[in-house]
Amino acid sequence: MNFLLLLHTSYVMQPSSEHVSDVLIIGSGAAGLSLALRLAAHCKVTVLSKGPLTEGSTYYAQGGIAAVFDETDSIASHVDDTLVAGAGLCDKDAVEFIARNARTCVQWLIDQGVLFDTETNAKGQEQYHLTREGGHSHRRILHTADATGKEVETTLVAKASAHPNICVMERHNAVDLITSSKLGFAGTRRVVGAYVWNRKREHVETFRAKAVILATGGAAKVYQYTTNPDVASGDGIAMAWRAGCRVANLEFNQFHPTCLFHPQARNFLLTEALRGEGAYLKRPDGSRFMPDFDERGELAPRDIVARAIDHEMKRLGADCMYLDISHKPAEFITQHFPMIYEKLLSLGIDLTKEAIPIVPAAHYTCGGVMVDQHGRTDLDGLYAIGEVSYTGLHGANRMASNSLLECLVYGWSAAEDIIKRLPHVKHSASLPLWDESRVDNSDEQVVIQHNWHELRLFMWDYVGIVRTTKRLERALRRINMLQQEIDEYYANFRISNNLLELRNLAQVAELIVRSAMARKESRGLHFTLDYPNLLDNPQPTILQP
């Protein structure tokens, strides 16, 4: 709630604790860093990373980036596949915009030094090795073995860290956005900066900028089981909502069908490219089950595959299903999936000889902060790009390898808009610093931990792959109670990383449940037993603060 920010702020000026730059980018994945590099020739940029630079979702992305590089493929086909996977809820203009600009933006990434896998074709020419994933009708996924995200992130980090106009600051958590209206400034309501928790100093600092970009990723950590790293706690969505921005389609939470089921690696994702290269999904008795659910078998869209696995686990009372590519040659497997092979081998599983135990896990937030084709939000000067945003690309279900592509395209389009607008924007006056004089240290961290675990567990149980109205109502009641406790705690005690994330997760959980309750049908990733049929004229679910 907006008034909570005022509980911590003072209007006593202390300029020494204020950071100033032209552009503040909150988030250091593919979206944030590609934008920073495109802006750096024109202005001073500060990039905030919540943890170490390599701890975002980009770094752990295995699959690749979808773009039309094959002469037998077409942009129209990429568009059609995305629309089909999105289950009738994609914004066609957004899909066409992204597919049309895909190759140019991927080429920019290649120009930065990203090395994608290549192969020699029948004519003896070197070309990119393109793989295929669920929902795609052609091979159009550029990749670096099974560690594409690592190659992209490390390349962009190296370029950004070396640029004189880019200041990268690790272990900084954004707390809240600062708006002109909140401070009583005259003129158009706009963002003027952000309060940021410096985790090294355990101190809140003030960051002032002409433009602020949210590139904070998704909110899969709201669920008990997730493939995402710990930083994916919905911070950008919650901050934008508190600042007055609309959000859309947050009921569509993608559960990746194949997360490793193992006590020592609970969030290890097994890329969809395994199924693209011929892996089968099997029951504990070794029989395949996907052909019983969809004619596309293992290459059906993720929502269908995840529900099929969930159905078979519940029907059989099984802890997991299995993913099996052992029928392929061992050399083929180790060449295409070296990182996965080594990881599994360290856990006692030989990918070339046996099936892998798997379960679905929360993976991607298809909705988010509403933006236009330049990443602009409802608040002047505030942009949102990447998984934090709702562009209309994903509809009711994201197609594989469109996520990194969306980051790159909106990193480009937002940069074009910011470069054009920035010369006409003046810095605001110095901002008030955070004041902790009226709060105390807490010796009850157990309260935060308890609420944290309770929230993630009931979100998994009540707002997961299969939903009902009663489950959603029960979840909302629990969220409302938790929010009251969190608000009181936030107002009286010094903040911490866990408190900031809990506050944001509770806010996003509320928005997810409200969105799910508003959709009276089952479509894509949102499946409810109370409304199993499709509506004739589906619309995005839009929530207004």
- Contact between 38 and 415 (Cβ < 8 Å): yes
Q: Would you identify the CATH topology of the domain 2-251+366-424?
A: FAD/NAD(P)-binding domain (3.50.50)
Q: Would you identify the CATH topology of the domain 445-534?
A: Methane Monooxygenase Hydroxylase; Chain G, domain 1 (1.20.58)
Reported as a single tens digit per residue, the pLDDT across 490-543 is 888 888 889 999 999 999 999 999 999 999 999 999 999 999 999 999 999 999
213, 214, 312, 375, 479 from 392: Cα distances, Å? 19, 17, 32, 12, 27
pLDDT at 443: 66
Tokens representing 327? 């029928």
User: Of all residues in the chain, what percent carry a pLDDT higher than 90?
Assistant: 77
Report how far residue 230's alpha carbon sits from residue 456's, in angstroms, rounded to the nearest whole number: 13
- Burial class from Cβ neighbours inside 10 Å (0-12, 13-18, 19+) for residue 463 reads buried
440 vs 101, more confident: 101
Q: Which of 132, 208, 302, 503 is catalytic?
A: 302
pLDDT band at 544 (very low <50, low <70, confident <90, very high): very high
CA angle 88, 90, 95 (to 5 degrees): 135
Query: Do 2-251+366-424 and 254-362 show the same overall fold?
Result: no
Among the ranges given (99-108, 259-268, 463-472), the one the predictor scored with the smallest mean pLDDT: 259-268
- Contact between 25 and 47 (Cβ < 8 Å): yes
pLDDT band at 428 (very low <50, low <70, confident <90, very high): confident
483 vs 135, more confident: 483
Residue 390 pLDDT > 60: yes
For helices 92-111 and 403-421, give the axis angle rounded to 10 degrees: 90
Name the range with the highest mean pLDDT among 30-39, 119-128, 451-460. 30-39
> What's the whole-model pTM score?
0.90
Report how far residue 276's alpha carbon sits from residue 289's, in angstroms, rounded to the nearest whole number: 17
Residue 369, classed as helix, strand or coil, is strand
| Residue at token pair 């600092």 | 205
Domain boundaries, the chain: 2-251+366-424, 254-362, 445-534
Residue 13 pLDDT > 60: no
- Contact between 24 and 48 (Cβ < 8 Å): yes
Look up residue 357 and give its DSSP letter.
E
Asked if 302 is an active-site residue, the reply is: yes
pLDDT at 272: 85
Reported as a single tens digit per residue, the pLDDT across 358-381 is 999 999 999 999 999 999 999 999
Residues 6+ apart with CB under 8 A from 260: 266, 268, 269, 270, 344, 347, 356, 357, 358
**CATH number for the domain formed by residue range(s) 254-362:** 3.90.700.10
